[in-house]
Structure 1
């Protein structure tokens, strides 16, 4: 997306267009599943001195407005993504922490049927798949490297 597209997104969400908001939107769009440190680094690369708090505030405003999505797999830091408005899930590598999107297997939300919804009106199902990414699966482990070195 381009800056005019980001400006339009902000205006449609009834938000003022500011340089920090544009920079944060750009960072999240360019770096899917970025943590706050990555977003801060990207924003500072484009704008110069911007406080951590300013970036945190913008991320909160954009999340509240539905322009970005905050995800936080168990044991991981919060990540932000620009893919909003659908019911996709995530796969997370237990070794390196890489995160990828996984489309819902059934369709629009909720894609899972709860065994008992306890009277809730369900509108979203969040699933996190855990495993090992292809890079980590094929990387030699320290133990294997030691064993191979003694042969």
Structure 2
């Protein structure tokens, strides 16, 4: 569940013990508009309204928001890290193998951590991360259109 979809960004920051800054608010708003965005994509959305912001500053803000539990960072294989506001649940992701689009997949089976590792590892599993790979609807349609 996206806990921050309707919450005022300033309230979210204060509740996490962070200072309210224009950059932090802009990042939250950018991720409300487009989830699973890379740092470059967030920077592209934020920089027109905050022209003095640098890409390095975006990485610092994204790191602070992730560390405070406001954002979740995901790292699909062969992809730049992506950020989302949907936290606090054990959802997974599906990634398009052609265009790289990412979408959420609710927990596959059961409650968190959804998957139970084989016994004997000695680990206390706190969460599970599953990435599904396939073709998004747009790429599937394009393949059908391109078929002879």
Q: TM-score, with normalisation over the residues of structure 2?
A: 0.89
SS at match of 1:118: coil
1:86 match: 89
- Name the CA shift for 1:117/1:54 in 2 (closer, same or farther; >3 Å): farther
SS at match of 1:45: coil
* Aligned equivalents of 2:10, 2:110: Cα separation in 1: 30
RMSD over aligned Cα, in angstroms? 1.9
1:108 match: 111
1:96 match: 99
1:69 to 63, 68, 72: 72
Q: Return the offset for 1:142.
A: 9.9
Q: How many aligned positions are there?
A: 144
1:25 to 15, 25, 28: 28
Q: Return the offset for 1:120.
A: 1.4
Query: Which of 1 and 2 has higher RCO (CA within 8 Å, sep 6+)?
Result: 2
- Name the CA shift for 1:117/1:49 in 2 (closer, same or farther; >3 Å): farther
Residues 1:38 and 2:57 are matched in the alignment: no
Unaligned runs of 5+ in 2: none
Unaligned runs of 5+ in 1: none
